[in-house]
Structure formats: C-alpha cells, structure tokens
Amino acid sequence: MARSQDKIENMKLRQDYRNLWHSDLIGTVTADTPYCCISCLCGPCVSYMLRRRALYNDMSRYTCCAGYMPCSGRCGESKCPELCLATEVFLCFGNSVASTRFLLQDEFNIQTTQCDNCIIGFMFCLSQVACIFSIVACIVGSSELSEASQILSCCADMVYCTVCACMQTQHKLEMDKRDGVFGSQPMGVPPAQQMSRFDQPVPPQAGYPQSYPPPGQGYPPPGYPQH
C-alpha cells in the first residue's frame, strides 16, 4: 500500500515537469516522415532500438518495462537483457512504447502537452469502445452490429498503430537532440538511477541535464516551441 501511494505521489510530481518534447505528436509526421513510416510498419523493431538507445546502448541498465510495471526486475533481465527486451516489445508492444516514453520524460523532466494527452486519450477510448461493440455483437448475434464492430475495431487498430508510430518518432527526435544530432552539445551519460526516478523523490529543481533548465529559468528552453 505504501509503495502504491509513493508511486501516485511521484506521478503527481511529474505534472510539474516544465520541458517540452522537441516535437509534439502531430508534428512528428513532418519532422521525420521516413522514420514515422518505419515505426508504423515495424513498430516492435523500432521499439527495441529506441529502448537500447534510451539506455545509451548499455543493456546492463535494462529493466523490464523500464521499472514501471510490477514484473520489472523479476524477469531475469540481468542474465539475458536482449532476449527480455525482445520479448517485451513483441508481446507487450504498447507497454514497451509507454515505458520508453516515461523513461525519457523522467530523465529530462518532459511534460506531455494537452494536445498530446487528447490524442493518446482518444486512442485508448476508441480501443475500449471497439472492444465493447465486439462483445455486444457477440452477445446479440446481429450480423449488422457484428459488421459495424469489425469496422470500428479496424479503425481503432489504425489509430493505435498511427499514434504509436508518432510517439516512437517523438522519442527518436528527443534522443537526436540529446545526442547532438541537431548541432547542440551532446549530453553526458547519466548514472542509471538518474534515468528513471519512478521510485524515488523528484525534487523540482534537481536532476536537470545541462540543456534542460529548471522550471522558471529560461523556460521554455532553447529549441523548444512556444505554447
């Protein structure tokens, strides 16, 4: 119970993050169109590569679902991290994308904009509605309702794949910025415990990399769009 309460408190602290993604979800399509297409066609492979990159290609840092799930640390990651990561991205693709997202947000104190939250929320709501329609169609046995549920499920799958592709492109662009691809100074590799602060306090003025200033000091940082 205490551990759950700590997680809730830490999630509330994340609402105070002041930095923004290098590109919002809508802008990723034009910011890196080829990568967005690749992410849509082969999402699990892209998720695998992005998690490795998020961990600075040091798989000794790897924990299942980046430490955000109850199974984290209990799947033999230390013995065979590559196999565990491959299993994660193929069997739990949605969780793998979300875990990489949380990892980057915690490392760089990045908030999710209201627009991004609306897009992600719409994706989840549509998936839930499609599931409910499918259950009702099975119970009622109506061919018309069954056909409608299949169309809705197809639309939900298309939205899910599209949003996940945009999210992964967003992660890639953020790591491009971190690694100096856009001409900025590359950031040093942080200690492993600094990358994911889910189970430790998040001081509002601490843990910011050099190019990510604390809240209230030069916000938004250079290179981030004004909102």
Judge if pTM exceeds 0.85: no
24, part of any domain: yes
Domain count for the chain, please give it.
Answer: 1
215, part of any domain: no
195, part of any domain: no
100, two tokens: 């990489």
101, part of any domain: yes
212, part of any domain: no
Q: 113-154, pLDDT tens digit by residue? A: 888 889 999 998 998 888 888 888 888 877 888 888 888 889
34, part of any domain: yes
219, part of any domain: no
Residues spanned by the domain of 33: 7-187
198, part of any domain: no
Please state the φ and ψ torsions of residue 19, each to the nearest 5 degrees.
Answer: -80, 155
Residues 6+ apart with CB under 8 A from 200: 10, 193
Q: 193-222, pLDDT tens digit by residue? A: 555 554 444 444 333 344 444 444 443 445
